[in-house]
Each structure stands twice: as structure tokens, then as C-alpha cells.
Amino acid sequence: MTTQTLAGVPVERDAEGFLTDPSLWSEAVAVAIAAEEGITLTERHWEVVRFMRHAYETTGAGPNVRLLAKASGVSVRELYALFPRGPAKTAAKIAGIPKPHGCI
Amino acid sequence: MDAPITKVSIVVSKGSLEGVYPALIMANGARAEGMEANLFFTFFGLDAINAKRIEHVKVAAVGNPGMHVASLLGVLPGMSAIATRVMERKMEENDIPGLPEFIELVADAGCGLYGCRASADLFGFTEADLVPQVKAIITVGEFYALSAGGQIIFT
């Protein structure tokens, strides 16, 4: 657990860099976390990030890669092209929500 | 902290449903974590990437204590098919994809799928017999070369 300032906001992050309080998230925070991951957010990235955020707000958890592809309409291939270090994990981190759990 | 695992190469040597799924789940999970992943299908494991057999991979009803069915019953005609149907229904309830979809998923996720040269020769398979997601049939030497720098897991 570490506290740091992202886009001018003090936030707490877990060992893997996920925000511990999703309510402190903003689009500026998303841009800062994406930059750490080596990603410059395009409109297509934003679609996925907003989808993750929406899924968390409505279901309490972000989906895994397979369900993300099914529900968002962005293919598995494209998801990995957008987020090479793991789409569900990286998009969740950028969206300020907890890491999706489950094995599939 | 220990250095994270960044690459895995998983050998699939069994042709039963319960022999194939753990490898696919581990490979898919590796990619989801941003790790590099390869799957090497050898011996009966080749059935999982054989275009004609992929739809017919079954749970072993005999010699499988985990089934909790006496082996004497397991030999009855259709037992393996029944066990497989039960397993597939449970997997569907738990949102685990069927084998053809799972193979497509791991390939789309960027996992490298390879057939074993020695096994393919033994069974008389060529790349034309395998599903299109398979990159190539390779030798054990080539498998070790592409596994360089990573962990090898045998299943």
C-alpha cells in the first residue's frame, strides 16, 4: 500500500498499482496511470476504460478478458493490441477499479 | 521480492478434457497477466488441436478416481460421453468456454500454439489436420528454443 499524488490528487494504491478507492478516480488520473503503463489513451482505449468503469459501477467488479470482449464488442485480439500487458488488468487499473478476479 | 514470471511454455500431453483444460486456463491466465505464453501439444494432447477431434475431447471415465465412479461402471458404453456432458454443463454455468472457443480465445490472446513433430509423424498428422490457430508443427529442439528465458510446465 503506497500513497502518491496522481494528477494533483493524493491516492492510495495497492502493491500492483490499483487504486484502493475508486471514487478518487478522474480522467486525469486515468491518463497518469496509462502513462505509467506506456499507453497513450486513444478514443478506442477510452471506450474500454469507460466500459470497465461502468461494469464496476453496475456489477461491483470489472469483467475478465473474455467477458470484456463479449460485452464491449471489442475483440480479444484488439484488446490485447490496445493493452499488451493484459487488457482486463490494465484497463481496470487505468479505470481506477479493483483488479478483475477469476481464473478465465 | 522475487522476480516475476514473465514467460511460460506449457506442454499438453493428455487428450482428455481434464487433461487439456488446466493448460488452457494457465496459458490464458498468463496472457491476461501480460506474460508471454506458448502451448505445445504432444502425444494425445494433439487431439485438442486436431480439427476433426477438437469437438470430441472427453472426460476419462475409467482410471480417474476424481470421477468418484467405480471403474467397473466407467467401462460401460456412453459413460465417458455422459461424464463429458455433465462437465460441459457445469463449465457453461461457470462461464468457462467450450474447447473450440477456448482454443480460439488463447490464440487471439496472443498465446503461441504448436504441435509436436514426433507425435504428428507418429499419428500421421500434418498441419492441414490441425485447427487454423496452430502456428506450426515443431521439433522438441525448436520448442526449447522458443521457451528460452521462461518456465516450462508439463501437464
Contacts of A86 in chain B (CB under 8 A): 31-34
Q: Quick one: CA torsion of B104, B109, B110, B113, rounded to 10 degrees?
A: -30
Residue A22 lies in a domain: yes
Q: Mind spelling out the 3-state secondary structure of B51-86?
A: CCCHHHCCCCCCCCHHHCCCHHHHCCCCHHHHHHHH
Q: With 90 as the cut, is the pLDDT of residue B62 above it?
A: no
Query: Are residues B34 and A89, on separate chains, in Cβ contact within 8 Å?
Result: yes
Give residue B94's pLDDT band: very low, low, confident or very high (50, 70, 90): confident
Contacts of A67 in chain B (CB under 8 A): 95
Helix (H) or strand (E) holding A44: helix A43-59
Query: Are residues B34 and A77, on separate chains, in Cβ contact within 8 Å?
Result: no
Contacts of A71 in chain B (CB under 8 A): none
A104 touching chain B per CB within 8 A: yes
Closest-CA distance, B36 to chain A, in angstroms, reads 9
Residue A41 lies in a domain: yes
Stated pTM of the model: 0.93
Residue A100 lies in a domain: no
Give residue B95's pLDDT band: very low, low, confident or very high (50, 70, 90): confident
The pLDDT score that the predictor gives to residue A77 is 98
Query: Are residues B31 and A77, on separate chains, in Cβ contact within 8 Å?
Result: no
Closest-CA distance, A78 to chain B, in angstroms, reads 9
Topology given in CATH for the domain delimited by B7-58+98-154: Hypothetical Protein Ychn; Chain: A, (3.40.1260)
- CATH number of the domain that A21 lies in? 1.10.10.370
Give residue B51's pLDDT band: very low, low, confident or very high (50, 70, 90): very high
A90 touching chain B per CB within 8 A: yes
Domain boundaries, chain B: 7-58+98-154
Residue A101 lies in a domain: no
A103 touching chain B per CB within 8 A: yes
A1 touching chain B per CB within 8 A: no
Q: With 80 as the cut, is the pLDDT of residue B46 above it?
A: yes
Q: Is the ipTM of this complex over 0.85?
A: yes
Whole-number mean pLDDT of chain B?
A: 94
Query: Are residues B34 and A64, on separate chains, in Cβ contact within 8 Å?
Result: no
CA B133 to chain centroid, in Å, comes to 13
A89 touching chain B per CB within 8 A: yes
Contact B11, B4 (CB under 8 A): no
Q: Kindly state the average pLDDT of the residues B64-82.
A: 85
Q: Which of A5, A40, A42, A103 is catalytic?
A: A103
Give the count of domains, chain A: 1
Q: Is B154 helix (H, G, I), strand (E, B) or coil?
A: strand
Q: With 80 as the cut, is the pLDDT of residue B1 above it?
A: no
Give residue B102's pLDDT band: very low, low, confident or very high (50, 70, 90): very high
Nearest to A9, CA basis, from A31, A33, A27, A29:
A29
The pLDDT score that the predictor gives to residue A61 is 93
Query: Are residues B34 and A90, on separate chains, in Cβ contact within 8 Å?
Result: yes
Q: Residue A22 sits in which domain range? A: 2-94
A103 is catalytic: yes
* Cα–Cα distance list, B73 to A74, B59, B87, B118 (Å): 46, 14, 17, 35
Contact A27, A60 (CB under 8 A): no
Closest-CA distance, B35 to chain A, in angstroms, reads 7
Residue A99 lies in a domain: no
- Would you give per-residue pLDDT tens digits along chain A (104 residues)? 889 999 898 999 999 999 999 999 999 999 999 999 999 999 999 999 999 999 999 999 999 999 999 999 999 999 999 999 999 999 999 999 999 988 88
